[in-house]
Structure 1
């Protein structure tokens, strides 16, 4: 099998009717008081907090510490990797790392957390497990037995913890958030350990998660969309070309609704005026003349033709801006000219 053919092959399987996912039997339904998520407080300086926390738990002989981390190389030539390191006090008990195939970063993190939990519950004289991770989203997903990318890892976590909780009512687990950029203590060690493992994608079968395939499909569609967007016959000959902050042409995107909607989506009326302005389909003289509409072509300021360029830069009746290169320029113009590129309301209240 060629490598290119493997790229589009889903290798993970799912259990839509897993017993662990039945309402009332889920881990969070039965043992919610045994699980805790220590998430990041935006007002909190995380470094001293983590230093104090680990000092306290290292002094507890019944607490096992687990550092979990996943890594997805930027180059498609390499597979994602996951790693877990287990400690008690200052003593390292066990460590492992392995390739995760072609998966997303949350998938790799979930894989690492699953490994960390399964190793931690096997340690003797352990009542409390503390898992340090830089992906709290994956930590929450680790105890979600429903159908999702990496469900098999979540089910393994749920099964391991359910058996462990049933063995002793004092057993509990805490997932602690560690910002990746901190390279902090044992989590920093796990990060170093996992990123040292470099395994190329070979000709043998490579795992592909469903989220990885979704991401690859979305990027492929976006690349095609950006390519098509360069064609004026697709984009529209009157489309107002704007730039990104780095100077590149503004391109369509599905992220957060795309650049236009994310900037103006807070107001339906403002977004409508922006669309009319950018596409050149605004109720102005140049549009009326182009489509032979029986409306005045001139501007209220006395200019012979009310074009978009005139409205934006030369109209004496409006606040003007410098040449609009960015969406922020258009936003500023719309703010100070609340009726620009909009239709006049009918006196009867219709329209």
Structure 2
């Protein structure tokens, strides 16, 4: 539904646009979708049940899409009609339109508000270049099309004990004088102060021929790994008496991408690999290359050496302009909207004043996310009934006293234990009757919940763990009090 609902959003969503009517329609649509997913009451706060359903707020979703659109302009052909509307830096080989930003005066550019002006202002942060119609990307001219029998991928086998297999494989390869071994690995430090690094190590038999490690800029882990694979291939084909190259990597997806010349983040590295291997294959028909999967956790042999080597290099981001890949900038935009969502979620007026704060097993409070359906839906989504009751309990819009009082429903506000007000916190942690009155109704659902969620959220306050099981049952089945 998202592509349909946001079709043509670039025409009306930009800084300074009057789009209140369109935004309200999208918000109403998303609210209905969130209520349908969660099964929550219609009176539930929009911010709370959007988070429970794993639906990012509409304005943040559009902000992320608009930011990514700015960077994807760089992937268009040089003569694409959109370039004719851009400024001088993005005009390329297109003829400027009469309303092009390239023909506007600086004063006029400051007054005009549109998506075109935002692209011209922000796209310069992307340093990566693309070739949409490179000859090697034409159908039938791909490296995989022309030299399929020269390229091999030793894929991951979940049923196989990988270490003994790799030990036997490298022993055979080292005994072959025409085989060159190459290990490639990339690393992205957790701190934004450091740049990503890539490394490659070349062996022949037991003799180390070359090794190199260098910075890749501000890129994602796949970009750094792809850079390392490209470097390993370029170094390996230069070795004398080489007819077989074995590249050891911990990502087979990037091994396939390394020979894919189409448009993607790191296309320049893929084109370099395709060009290098094509020349190598044409020089000798017996040449072939094998990409071998090595689990990163094994720290195995030469790949473990490459991993240690690449993590030793720490280079801070300096004052000079740092390379940024398109995936890195899009990932940065996604993290930015997630941070904004988490910040807004702390406001009780947004998520709901009765929203029940839960913790992850490591003790950190749960933050909203749209990845994998969000943290709540990924845990409780196995059962529609249980998830609906969970949402009613977390939002405080459940058939209990605090809900009756707020919406002036003619039903008792107190609890069976004679407490003045029956709230979610009271039923879960304070009620004296939670074992004698509430718990017997929930035995079956506790067993169902524990069967699907052996590692539940850490909202329990009972260190022994026994009381927490009862609290989980109360937490799930508050709907049965209706």
TM-score (norm 2): 0.62
> If each structure's helix is expressed as a fraction of its own residues, which one has the higher value?
2
**Structure 1's 265 and 36: CA in aligned 2 closer, same or farther, altered over 3 A?**
farther
Contact 2:390 2:476 in 1 (8 A): no
Determine whether 1:183 maps to 2:299: yes
TM-score (norm 1): 0.82
> Cα RMSD (Å) of the superposition?
3.4
Q: Partner residue of 1:115?
A: 231
Distance 2:481 2:285 in 1: 68
SS at match of 2:321: coil
Cα distance, 1:159 vs. partner? 2.2
Distance 2:245 2:266 in 1: 22
Q: Partner residue of 2:269?
A: 153
Contact 1:39 1:177 in 2 (8 A): yes
Contact 1:78 1:200 in 2 (8 A): yes
Distance 1:73 1:213 in 2: 16
Contact 2:180 2:245 in 1 (8 A): yes
**Structure 1's 325 and 197: CA in aligned 2 closer, same or farther, altered over 3 A?**
closer
Q: Partner residue of 2:15?
A: none
Distance 1:239 1:294 in 2: 23
Structure 1 residue ranges without an equivalent (≥5) = 1-5, 345-351
Distance 1:178 1:119 in 2: 20
- CA deviation vs aligned residue, 1:216-258 (integer Å, no higher than 9, x gap): 2222222222222222112210101111112222222333222
Match of 2:246 among 114, 127, 130: 130
Distance 2:148 2:420 in 1: 72
**Structure 1's 248 and 21: CA in aligned 2 closer, same or farther, altered over 3 A?**
same
Distance 1:262 1:166 in 2: 51
- CA deviation vs aligned residue, 1:91-130 (integer Å, no higher than 9, x gap): 2222222211111111111100011112222333322110
**Structure 1's 330 and 137: CA in aligned 2 closer, same or farther, altered over 3 A?**
farther
Distance 1:143 1:189 in 2: 25
**Structure 1's 336 and 127: CA in aligned 2 closer, same or farther, altered over 3 A?**
farther
Contact 1:20 1:145 in 2 (8 A): yes
Determine whether 1:291 maps to 2:291: no
Determine whether 1:143 maps to 2:259: yes
Determine whether 1:266 maps to 2:404: no
Q: Partner residue of 2:132?
A: 16
Contact 1:67 1:132 in 2 (8 A): yes
Determine whether 1:95 maps to 2:211: yes
Q: Partner residue of 2:392?
A: 276
Pairing of 1:297-316 with structure 2 (within 5 A): 307-309=423-425, 312=428, 314=433, 316=437
**Structure 1's 213 and 332: CA in aligned 2 closer, same or farther, altered over 3 A?**
farther
Determine whether 1:244 maps to 2:360: yes
Cα distance, 1:334 vs. partner? 7.3
Determine whether 1:230 maps to 2:346: yes
Q: Partner residue of 1:326?
A: 459
Kindly tell me the number of residue pairs found equivalent between the two proteins. Answer: 338
Cα distance, 1:21 vs. partner? 2.5
Q: Partner residue of 1:44?
A: 160
SS at match of 2:374: helix
Determine whether 1:341 maps to 2:479: yes
Cα distance, 1:211 vs. partner? 1.6
**Structure 1's 269 and 165: CA in aligned 2 closer, same or farther, altered over 3 A?**
farther
Cα distance, 1:135 vs. partner? 2.5
- CA deviation vs aligned residue, 1:36-72 (integer Å, no higher than 9, x gap): 2223333333222222111100111221111111122
Farther off after superposition, 335-344 or 190-199: 335-344
**Structure 1's 307 and 76: CA in aligned 2 closer, same or farther, altered over 3 A?**
closer
